[in-house]
Amino acid sequence: MQVHDKLYINGKWVDATSESVIEVINPTNEKIVGKIPVGSKSDVDDAVHAATNAFKIWSKSSIEDRIEKLNLLSQKIKEKTELLAKTITSEVGTPIEYSRMAMVGTPRVVSRSYAKILETYEWEENVRNSLIVKEPIGVCAFITPWNFPLHQIIGKVAPAIAAGCTMILKPSKEAPLNAFILAEIIDEIDLPPGVFNLVSGHGAEIGEYLAKHPGIDMISFTGSTDAGKNVSRAASDSIKRVTLELGGKSANVALEDCNPQIVAKMAINGCFQNSGQTCSALTRLIIPKKLSKEISDIIVERVSRYSTGDPMDEKTKCGPMVSSKQQHSVTEYIKTGIEEGGKLIAGGLGMPEHLDTGFFVKPTVFTDIKTNMTIWKEEIFGPVLVIATYENEDEALLLANDSIYGLSGAVWSNDKEKAINFAKQMKTGQVSVNGGHFNVNAPFGGYKMSGNGRELGIHGLEEFLEIKSIQM
């Protein structure tokens, strides 16, 4: 069990003003795997004060110093890969192989990518008689989710360090243990006191307080769309910069000249990775009616072999939901899908037959989906794939864009240029063409109710910068 009884403020581990604790539950066996302190508004004030003082120095630090710290951060994450991966698997239920690769490997690469960006980034430019200067925005607050906990943290912390900002992190209470390991790493690399501060606790109290706090210049939030609305409202009085990475209901579109075998195989991966608990999951599969039986039959066969169980087992593909609350939510969506007339072709209600503990649901697939169905419209955040069919590609595009969200998407076609043209018409922040891989140097973020602002790459760095124009 990991027991953390202190917060990290101003380069030191300090007692929280409250004696309350949050217990972290392993969703696989329902046992307590850790405890963290509950921070208060007073602790937030201390962290903001520390970050404000540190900004005076860190904002003027050399680019070489920032590069060094980011490379050290990446190296330390690499050294602690197994500890971090096992910790995240115990908190979230992510299969251990995926934890190593995505939950730890990606944050390591992201940290290093910002060191690389800084080597050539232009901080000033001349435009006629003006000098355009880019400066760090100031003290930043980060509120992060449980599903990709370390990745979502590093996606904010690394560009903030690169920009010369200081920060306060409030990690998810469901999966906070990895954030405490990160704070230990940051202490080891000697980042100046106050640049990074960790205050754990309940979002309803300190999350809202961070958003409202007049001493914070920017807040970056990742989570549900409803929670993002609340953050925006709380931040509005101080007119601070707000970036939001919110929900998704992303379309995976197979054009008529696609390879059905590849589409079916990759549709499962695109929807079920991290047990479906992914904001950018490709949860709506849109396929030609003439290929629907072929693709659906392949999916059913492959889902029957999609192993569900202990995420510490190297062979497991689908772990549990993060909590009993999430398990109940996903189960209710499956129930609603059945009641509204969706055709269940895999999975369904109840725990997988071989399991009797943990917050598991069955990997589930529906066909015969209509656009007025709840499971077509709402983000489920679990391993539930819905399949709709189309007669022509104009209809396919209408279906793809039939969502209040716009975070991710995919297109499949044997004609790459045709697929790219279709992708350009999708109202979403990123699109994978024929299985194009995730790129940590490309901007990530959403259209519509999937949020605003971008993370990763140069675009992610510039979210943390103010622009000044000096006329001469």
Going by CATH, does the domain composed of 251-439 fall within 3.30.930.10? Answer: no
DSSP alpha helices (H): ranges in 94-176?
Answer: 96-98, 106-120, 149-163
Per annotation, catalytic residue among 279, 318, 379, 463:
279
Each domain of the chain, given as residue ranges in start order, spans 2-246+450-471, 251-439
C-alpha to C-alpha distance for 412 and 416, rounded to whole angstroms: 8
C-alpha to C-alpha distance for 410 and 262, rounded to whole angstroms: 13
For the chain, the helix, strand and coil percentages under 3-state DSSP, each to the nearest 5: 40, 20, 35
Superfamily of domain 2-246+450-471: Aldehyde Dehydrogenase; Chain A, domain 1 (3.40.605.10)
Per annotation, catalytic residue among 174, 245, 379, 463:
245
What is the DSSP code (8-state) at residue 444? B
Question: How far does Cα 71 stand from its chain's mean position?
Answer: 22
> Is-catalytic flag, 258?
no
pTM over cut 0.95: yes
Going through 42-129 in order, the beta strands assigned E by DSSP cover: 124-127
In this structure, the dihedral spanned by the alpha carbons of residues 403, 406, 408 and 410, taken in order and rounded to 10 degrees, is 50
Would you write out the chain's pLDDT as a tens digit for each of its 472 residues?
999 999 999 999 999 999 999 999 999 999 999 999 999 999 999 999 999 999 999 999 999 999 999 999 999 999 999 999 999 999 999 999 999 999 999 999 999 999 999 999 999 999 999 999 999 999 999 999 999 999 999 999 999 999 999 999 999 999 999 999 999 999 999 999 999 999 999 998 999 999 999 999 999 999 999 999 999 999 999 999 999 999 999 999 999 999 999 999 999 999 999 999 999 999 999 999 999 999 999 999 999 999 999 999 999 999 999 999 999 999 999 999 999 999 999 999 999 999 999 999 999 999 999 999 999 999 999 999 999 999 999 999 999 999 999 999 999 999 999 999 999 999 999 999 999 999 999 999 999 999 999 999 999 999 999 999 999 9
Which pLDDT score, from 0 to 100, does residue 365 have? 98
Which pLDDT score, from 0 to 100, does residue 368 have? 96
Q: Do domains 2-246+450-471 and 251-439 have the same CATH topology?
A: no
Structure tokens at 28: 């696989």
Closest by CA position to 459, among listed 121, 78, 1: 121
> Is-catalytic flag, 245?
yes
